[in-house]
Structure 1
Amino acid sequence: MSGEPVDEHAADATAGRDAFPVLREAEFDEFVDAVGAARHRGGPLTVSGAPGAGKTTLVESVARRFAADGGRVLRAVSSQSETDLPFSGLHQLLRPVRGRIDALPPRQRRALYTAFGLAEHSEAPEPMLIGIAVLTLLSDVAVDQPLLLVVDDAHWTDHASLDALSFVARRLADEPVTVVIVTRDGALPRLGSRGPAIHLGPLVPEAAERLLDLQPQAPTGRTRARILEHAEGNALALAELARAAAEHPRTPYPRTPYPRTPHPRTPYDTDGPLPVTDRLERIYAARLAALPPTTRRALVQLATADTKDPSRTVLSWLPDIGDPVWAPAEEAGLVSRTGGRLRCGNPLSRIAIYHAAPVEERRAAHLELAELFRGQDPDRYAWHLAAATSGLSTHVAAELENVANRARHRGGYAAAAHMLERAADFHPGRGDTTRLLAAATGTAVLTGRLDSVERLAARTRASTDDPTAAVLAALQVGRLMTLTTSHNTAFGQLTRPAAALADTHPAAVLEALAAAAVVRFYSADPAQAHEIERLLSAVSAAPSHRTGDREPFLTDWVRVVTRPESTEPQVALRLPALITAASEHPGTLMLLAIAAWLLDETDLAVRAFDAALTSWTVQGPLPDGLGGIAALAYLEHGRWTRAQTACAELSAVASEVGLDHAAACAGATDGLLRALRGDAAGARAQARHALSLVDPVESRSVFALAHRALGTAAATEGDNETAYLHYRQLFDGPGDPVHYHLSYPALPELASAAARGGHHEEAARIVDRAERSLESAGPLAPRRAALVQLSRALLAPPNGAESHFTQALETPVLARRPFEHAQTLLAYGEWLRRRRRIVEARTALAEAEGIFRRLGARPGTARAHTELRAAGSQSDTPEPDAFADLTPQQQQIVRLAARGLTNREVAEKMYLSPRTVSSHLYRAFPKLGITVRSQLRDVIEARTADSGLA
């Protein structure tokens, strides 16, 4: 029977495309509204549903409306063969506007061309740079007309493309661009949770009846009832079963004569219900079996090519589009020849044809395709060659490994890991199998997907008797787990194999202990510290212990992170020379910066972080261990804008790969920054979100930072009781710190809230315990002593406070931390004023106000100004600080623009679109009282002329 082939997902083509909004009027209206909403909220709009629910037709209906209203639609339809080709989906989507890539800034242009395999580069492009390149490109194109980006069959889209699109979609709030992801139910849960979603369920009975009425031969009677029953509201099933009923009047479920493996379910032509996908595959298999052999072979070839629109290379291999061989297939609705294009009737028919064909026929088609792509497309050559190979093959394994290397070079880490695993499956050598699986495990770590890493690590361990390979596989799992919330599990995953290999493989053990030390910092668990120290001693005493360059360095680093107060003085003395020597090695610089910060060498830590982050080439989308400490170092050093940027960068990377603990670290630190700046509501939102992501027992670091943020937010609003309760959370019942490093900086804040809220005695006991800890504080003693002295001054009776204030102010280590220094000056100035020592009070208060103002600490600035007025200051009102009224993001944009950077250059550094940068500057100009860009430099110079703070 002739008729137009049915659309895969809606099966309403026989009724005409315009019928779809009538069948799903509510969903159509919801989608039209959601397209506009997604643009303002950010995040992709996801359309999900079972195969045959009508997803594609819904999207096409809305796309036609969008285009009719003057918009432009860019589409990509993914296929199974492209799942492991990194950025293939993105390349297809952007192909119509590829000519605009040349207009991108040079770094972005190179990154995008490298990702698309159109240029060679010595290193894999930074994933976030690829994202910003796509964002800039879309922003440029959208200047001409609004854009709608549609990615259909996204469950087959490669991970690299999806990550890039997710990155872009969350930054489109200022752009006339909407991203739509079309996928099967539950196929992309993490991506789908980031934006609005529309789910297409079964058609309601009235719509199902209407769809049957619109078919060329509408079924009636018992046949109609059975179709409605078995289709279960699935649009494609309704149309296809109606077609089958017309072709086979006795039953709408024709038996498949093509030889197949017996199916364990109910026979096909009974009244028993079958899953829609199974039933439809049987229908298509029956149609395939009824075709002439030459037509069937051509169809199998087309289905094996696995693409909606075959390339010219594939078309040259297939019978010509006008060849009569296609006519029987077109008659059966299995192929479409319209507009000079040849394709399977719909993806479901392609899948059914492929799986219904004999295995050897499929393999022959794959082998022919492999030969077709040999020398033209090495990735597709390897893919089809592997599909055509049934046994082990060193050659196939090598080709797949080459594909993996190319994928990794382009930044497609998920694809590379999968191809390495497939290569391992084909390799006949056990040693090479283990090597490939270990490489796949290590590559999968860069995707941030813990389930994949665990599975591959298990396969690696099962493939070998080599204990080193086993421990390294466990290390990969543990390394990724440190960035999740499963810290106890991660610690065991790292230390158990390390204990087994302490005598024989010290290098592997030290790598494991370095990751375990990260867990120790996050959890602050004393038992973990003891276990790390025990294993370090075992490694040092091992007969096979060797002192290469890395082993002593890692040993010192593990000890610093695990118990910084026990660090030998010479370790800190060696840091400056080590940092200078590591200037070309950003990974080592990061480790040295972390060690410097933990040893209270904040100036040195910031210097190392600056050097590391300037030269760092990201090797994957994975946060680097304790790299989030950079934000805390910048905060303590007084570079709050840089700290805010570090938080934003960590949050962006963590959200890309779904690592909750890394996101919680960023949120808690950002919450503290917001509280210090006076944004109490924002601080509470960030801190509470961070706490919701973690178990406080397994992540005392986030717990301490978040409660300090909440306490500071309450203190800025004058709620000293609530502030004290939060600060008290940083110390346990007896008064010991909950976190060995992050609790102590809050000691003066706890004392201040206690003095104002009536908790003097309890706070004094906590300060006493902190003072007793000074004997064993080692290199941390100077700063801790200053914090103790300031806390004692705040809690002391009026006549006993001055000596504590002066001792705190005379400590050089406190003077190098602007906020803590200003805290001390403010408290001392208040005390002096109350003692009527006005001249001395004004000096201290004026210095405190200046520091607070430069930091952007509004609560401190306001409090210092109030005290100055009370001390008889001539200034009636503080000098307006329009810059401080800008958001942290606007401040950073203004600073970069003041340095002469263009909007595109600022956008690249801030991971924003140029239009968003322009929008922020447009809003900032009136607040700053300027009208032209050239005045920005004057604003920044006037603000920082007397300060090195930024």
Structure 2
Amino acid sequence: MFWHATLGSVRTLLGRTAEQERLSALVAGITESGGALVIRGAAGIGKSALAAEAATQARAAGAKVLSVTGSESEQNFPYAGLHQLLHPVRKGIDALPGSQREALRIALCLADGDIPDLYLVGMAALNLLSDTGTPLLLLAEDAHWLDQASADVLAFVARRLDSEPIVLLATVRDGVPSQLDTELPSLHLEPLTDDVASTLLDEVAPTLDPSVRKRLLSEAAGNPLALAELPATIQADSLLKATLPLNTRLERAFGARISTLPADTRMCLLVAALNDRGSLSEMFEAASAALGGAPVGAETLTPAAEAGLIEAALGGAGANVAGANVAGRGIAGQGEPGQGSSGQGGAWLAVGGRLAFRHPLMRSAIVQAATAAEHRAAHRALADALQKDPERQVWHLAAAATTADEGIAGVLVEAAERARYRGGVGAAIAGLEEAARLSESGELRADRLLRAADLGVEAGRSDLVERLLAEASREELSFQHRARATWIRSSFDDGLVDDTAGPIELAKLARSVFEDGDLDLAMRILWGAGMRCFWAEPGPEARQHLLDVADSLPLDEHDPRLIAILAYVAPIERGKAVAAGLMELAGQTGGDPEVERFLGSAALQIGAFELAARFSASAAAGLRAQGRLGLLARALAVHACSATRLGNLDVALPAAEEAARLAKETHQIFMYGFALSAQAEIAALRGLYAEAANLIAEAEQVALAAGARPILATVQLARGLSALGEGRHADAFADLHRVFDLTEPSYQLALRCYLIADLTEAAIRCGQEDAARKIIQRLEKDAQQTGSPSLHIGLRYARAALASDDDAEKLFLAALAGDLTGWPLERGRLHLAFGEWLRRHRRAAESRVHLRAARETFDALGLIPWSERARSELRAAGETSPRRTPDAREQLTPHELSIAQLAAEGLTNREIGQRLYLSHRTVSTHLHRIFPKLGITSRADLPAVLRNSPG
């Protein structure tokens, strides 16, 4: 990329005016707000030049630039990129909150400890950057080559920069996947126009023959690097072949230069290309060893600089040539200073004490040009030079190996375990796969491939898992290996998109695995099969198979895993046993959030919403502290659903919003849909019908193709509630009736038990009482087997509402006499229905008592349509009802409500940030938006404003 002109302090790149303006606008506002942008394009298209100019502007504006450059040789080292990025601000780690401080120190190998969750590391990195006290530009060059853990952390940080004086720019090559590129705004660089390309070529090679010039313009296709580099090798006609990809032509052009270099220079370059993490002294040592001990030094690199393969510094090592695009290579302040003599072709640009290639394609061209023997020699020499760094050494030993070597394979397995221990799942997979390649027996090879595949499930990489399983299947697999392979194939997306093993097959597999001596794997398989009973409908035969296996396992009846499995598989038949187990374990979980998550899910299945809310709230707190956002999303979804059914929308609203946000962030598409459907239900209860319709449409889009029944059932509930609120009673009954129809995709065995009151009300208002009674009769039989609070409360409502005039009053009174502690929505519903019945029977004075209770309940819960119904009935009963005072909380978004509630509890901005995985600066920004909405000026006023919260 070439600079065209200088306008003030901003240099203009040929053909990139619009792109520069977009970057300038992003950087110019850095003191007010932040953001992220991925610059994507082909190799040589000018991504680094734009990023370098943005860095220049940021420095001119007083911002500090932190940079990281991804490299292929570091992809197998977890958090290597993050270490590089954060090194200049590492002193601030000590000021972080305790759990974040320890997580980041462990991730960066500054301390030992239990494996930190990636999102806790991300939160620590965000706060470290936020607390620097100066605007920051984070520059991630070649982000597609970052190790997976670093890329995930940067993506986490990038999603939270709106209120920070921090901008993240990342460059990503076309055709190479990147976590950053899939989630962030992007700017795609197109080839230069014909006119601009012509101008650039004339500046680079003004004396080209016209026919050659025309051909080169055609072959370069608007790529600035090609236009700059190909003229130097134009005499090699074979390099200009339209059948070759441009990258290949460029690599061959660079290869032609490499072939003319002395052998010692080529070896130095090869060593640097294979190990660009290393310092110059490390490179010289390894190159000398690979050359049989021949001395190499700075002068060895002179021919490479003269050939334009490495950067030459002006004015000493570490200085930058004008317009060079090498910003941010290496960890600032680490490594030896660059070596070289300006009298011998210039000093070598060694940012952070490393050699800098002029372009990544030059590095790959060097690797391509070397022979297999030279590769092995370079890797062996590097392994010898890295005796004090076994983590890196083992990879070079593996690369140098030509046959199976169990010694190296074993060390790779150990390295993989360490990588996983540090949170580097991607690196652990790579280590196990390489260990499998070097394994001396088929059994060990299969075992390591399956272990890698299991981690692939954890990483959400279905494509990788399929490839690893296919490789493992080529070996002679034991029964345990085949069982593991079957389980792994069935582990994605809660089994919804898997057709390899249904619940019956998994039940049989679990039994066989147990009989073979592996109870833990049997339980994992059974749990996965149980989840299928939630997301899909396997039928009574499959459910019975699962129950038989669960009953046959030697487990304590109060084992949380067993209780959860029984709740999912047989929420009716085993409802009483599950309820007893939940009550037994309440308060005895030892604070283990995973156990509490299991129990919260089990309680939700049997309609014990109070217990579900209690367990899931406790689980969410523990999972927050551990930074396990994937499981936190699931716990929050359970909490939101439970709180909604109880009428506690102040709790349900922010929980559902956060569950959806975190599920999307952690790539749990069906849990995202489930949280969306919960949000739709809440919106319908609040009378926000347009918002409910939008949420319904999005949730249904997620669920329909896979037939995710809990989402579809909740969607139908939200539709029914909206229709009831709008007076479309026949539509409401039709929507709700589908959840009870076994032939409908929205039928869900457990959830259908919790829609009884809504179905009954719709049926009464549209003349479908007989249809409702048939459903109630079936549910009465279910109620004899389970102690589900929700089912029994719903049935008591239905009995009273559908009763004859002679029986209705006593049934309403019996329903109100039931234990409705913690169930304000259901109590208010009963008061409203009873009050309406009394008024219709000309008992206005008695009706007003119940209608007032209903109005007050619904006002407190924020259920506007319901409270308006109560007011309308009161007016019909002869009592004027004061207008409902709008609740200030209704002005807040769910996210703002969550922050306001925590601030009202007395938490500081930093503590709120830790709870919600935001920086304290972002929390402060939200609070300054919240105060005017609530008509207050400080957080001290929040408790009074929110005092009516029923939560």
Which bracket does the TM-score occupy, shorter chain normalised? 0.7 to 0.9
| Aligned: 1:326 with 2:338 | no
SS of 1:904 mapped into structure 2: helix
Match of 1:115 in 2: 107
The residue type equivalent to 2:248 in the other structure is D
1:55 to 37, 47, 53: 47
**Is residue 2:377 matched to residue 1:402?**
no
* Aligned pairs for 1:199-348 within 5 A: 199-245=188-234, 251-253=235-237, 268=238, 272-307=242-277, 310=279, 313-314=282-283, 323-338=298-313, 339-340=316-317, 341-342=349-350, 343-348=356-361
- CA distance in 2: counterparts of 1:221 and 1:21, whole angstroms: 25
Aligned to 1:687: 696
Q: Match for residue 660 of structure 1?
A: 669
Instruction: Please state if 1:137 is matched with 2:148.
Output: no
User: 2-side partners of 1:425 and 1:924: how far apart?
Assistant: 58
367 and 13 in structure 1: CA distance in 2 versus 1, 3 angstrom threshold: farther
Matched with 2:641 is 632
Q: What is the RMSD computed on CA atoms of the aligned residues?
A: 3.6
Match for residue 544 of structure 2 among 509, 533, 546: 533
Residue of structure 2 equivalent to 1:259 = none
In structure 2, the residue matched to 1:161 is 150
Whole-Å separation in 2 of the counterparts to 1:604 and 1:781: 11
Deviations along 1:267-317, whole A, 9 cap, x unmatched? x3575532112222222222111112222222222222225x847755776
Deviations 1:368-400 (A, max 9, x none): 32333332x332222323223232223322332
Contact 1:84–1:418 at 8 Å: present in 2 too? yes
Decide whether aligned partners of structure 1 residues 447 and 828 sit closer, same or farther in structure 2, where only a CA change above 3 A counts: same
The one-letter amino acid of 2:902's match is L
For 1:31-59, what per-residue CA distance to the aligned partner results, in whole angstroms no more than 9, with x for missing partners? 44567899999974222122122221122
Give the deviation of 1:483 after TM superposition: 6.7
Comparing 172-181 and 71-80, the one that deviates more: 172-181
Cα distance per residue 1:502-548 (max 9 Å; x no partner): 8656834443222111111111342xx422422543676xxxx6625
Name the SS for the 1:46 alignment partner. Answer: strand
The residue aligned with 1:88 is 80
Query: Aligned in 2, Cα 1:22/1:770: closer, same or farther, shift over 3 Å?
Result: same
Distance change in 2, residues 1:378/1:322 (3 Å)? closer
Task: Give 1:353 shift.
Answer: 0.6
In structure 1, list runs of 5 or more residues that go unmatched: 1-9, 246-250, 254-267
Inter-partner Cα distance in structure 2 for 1:70 and 1:271: 48
The reply to whether residue 852 of structure 1 matches residue 844 of structure 2 is: no
Give the alignment of 1:343-742 within 5 angstroms: 343-375=356-388, 377-482=389-494, 485-486=497-498, 494=506, 497-498=509-510, 504=516, 507=519, 508-526=521-539, 529-537=540-548, 547-549=554-556, 557-567=564-574, 569-616=576-623, 618=626, 622-623=630-631, 627=635, 628-695=637-704, 698-720=707-729, 722-732=731-741, 738-742=747-751
Aligned sequence identity (%): 33
Greater shift, 796-805 or 97-106, is seen at: 796-805
Distance 2:33 2:749 in 1: 40
SS of residue paired to 2:582: helix
Specify the alignment match of 2:326 in structure 1.
none
- Aligned partner of residue 148 in structure 1, secondary structure: strand
* Alignment partners' CA distance in 1, 2:81 and 2:588: 43
Kept after mapping to 2: 8 A contact 1:89/1:158 = yes
Q: Aligned residue for 2:818?
A: 811
Kept after mapping to 2: 8 A contact 1:24/1:207: no
Q: Partners in 1 of 2:503 and 2:778 — Cα distance? A: 31
**In the alignment, is the contact (CA less than 8 A) between 1:736 and 1:770 conserved in 2?**
no
**2:325 match:** none
> Is this contact kept in 2: 1:43–1:166, CA < 8 A?
no
Question: 776-785 or 399-408: which moved more?
Answer: 776-785
The Cα shift of 1:640 comes to 3.4
Distance 1:105 1:580, change over 3 A: closer
Residues 498 and 54 (structure 1), Cα distance of their counterparts in 2 relative to 1, 3 Å cut: same
Q: Is the 8 A contact 1:447 1:621 kept in 2?
A: no
The CA deviation at 1:838 is 3.9
Secondary structure (helix, strand or coil) at the match of 1:344 reads coil
Check 1:49–1:40 CA distance in 2 against 1; reply closer, same or farther (3 A cut). Answer: farther
Does structure 1 retain, via aligned residues, the 8 Å contact 2:686–2:864? Answer: yes
What pairs up with 1:712-861 in 2 under 5 angstroms? 712-720=721-729, 722-732=731-741, 738-756=747-765, 759-761=766-768, 764-777=770-783, 778-780=785-787, 783-791=790-798, 801-812=808-819, 816-861=822-867
Q: Distance in 1 between matches of 2:592 and 2:285?
A: 51
Residue 714 of structure 1: how far off its partner (Å): 4.3
1:869-888 matches, cutoff 5 A: 871=877, 876-888=882-894
Maintained 8 Å contact 1:487/1:699: no
Deviations 1:537-580 (A, max 9, x none): 3676xxxx662549976555433311211116344323322344
The answer on whether the counterparts of 1:166 and 1:656 sit within 8 Å (CA) in structure 2 is no
- Shift of residue 904 of structure 1? 0.8
Q: CA deviation at 1:735?
A: 9.5
- SS at 2:164's partner residue? coil
- TM-score, normalised to structure 1's length? 0.86
Cα 1:85–1:927 change in 2 (3 A) is same
**Aligned partner of residue 730 in structure 1, secondary structure:** helix
Residues in 1 aligned to 2:3 and 2:58: alpha-carbon distance in whole angstroms: 20
Tell me which moved more, 726-735 or 698-707: 726-735
Aligned residues of 1:15 and 1:211 also touching (Cα < 8 A): no
**Matched residues in 2 for 1:106 and 1:753: separation?**
53
The Cα of 1:722 is off from its aligned counterpart by 4.9
2:754–2:790 CA contact under 8 A, matched in 1: no
Residue 566 of structure 1 aligns to a residue in which SS?
A: coil
Residue of structure 1 in register with 2:323 after alignment? none
Distance 1:663 1:920 in 2: 24
Residue correspondences, number: 901
Q: Does 1:914 align with 2:920?
A: yes
Rate the CA distance shift 1:483–1:583 in 2: closer, same or farther, 3 A: farther
- TM-aligned CA deviation for residue 917 of structure 1: 1.2
Q: Which has the higher contact order (CA 8 A, sep 6+)?
A: 1
* Distance of 1:796 and 1:13 partners within structure 2: 85
Structure 2 CA distance for partners of 1:458 and 1:646, relative to 1, 3 Å: farther
Q: In the alignment, which of 98, 105, 116 is matched to residue 106 of structure 1?
A: 98
| Cα displacement (A) at 1:237 | 1.6
Aligned AA (1:303): A
Aligned-partner Cα distance in 2 for 1:851–1:42: 43
- Report if aligned partners of 1:650, 1:663 keep a CA contact under 8 Å in 2: yes
Residue identity opposite 1:227 in structure 2 = L
Report the residue type matching 1:133 in the other structure: A
